[in-house]
Amino acid sequence: GADATIRDGTGLTPMHAAAQHGYGKIVRMLLRYEVDANDMHSDGLTPFHRACLGSDAGHTDAVFAFLDGGVPPDQPTADNRQPLDMAGSENTRKLLMESLREKRRR
């Protein structure tokens, strides 16, 4: 089978690329195969952060997939930026806020 950890010329893994493009279904598939959702690129971002930065519904869906897969909603970047501060859409921001509220209730 294919190696889902191989990086492209810019250092992105398939998980990073799927998140960056808002491909929630692919993110879910990669998570099912236990591909590392917390792989940090040399730019300090994980796939989750790339999904948070996106501005369309696909990105919000990818963020949901990561959260559903156990990625913490407050996972910081290498330079300590928070996903909520990076949200590229209002729907992603709302999803992250709700996830943070749920985390605090636990």
CATH number at residue 62: 1.25.40.20
Q: Is the pTM of this model over 0.85?
A: yes
In a domain, 47, yes or no: yes
In a domain, 56, yes or no: yes
In a domain, 69, yes or no: yes
Specify the number of domains making up the chain: 1
**Residue 81 structural domain:** 14-105
**pLDDT tens-digit readout, 48-63:** 999 999 999 999 999 9
User: What is the DSSP secondary-structure string of 47-68?
Assistant: HHHHHHH--SHHHHHHHHHHHH
In a domain, 6, yes or no: no
How confident is the model at residue 3, as a pLDDT? 73
In a domain, 62, yes or no: yes
In a domain, 49, yes or no: yes
Angle at alpha carbon of residue 36, lines to 30 and 51, rounded to 5°: 70
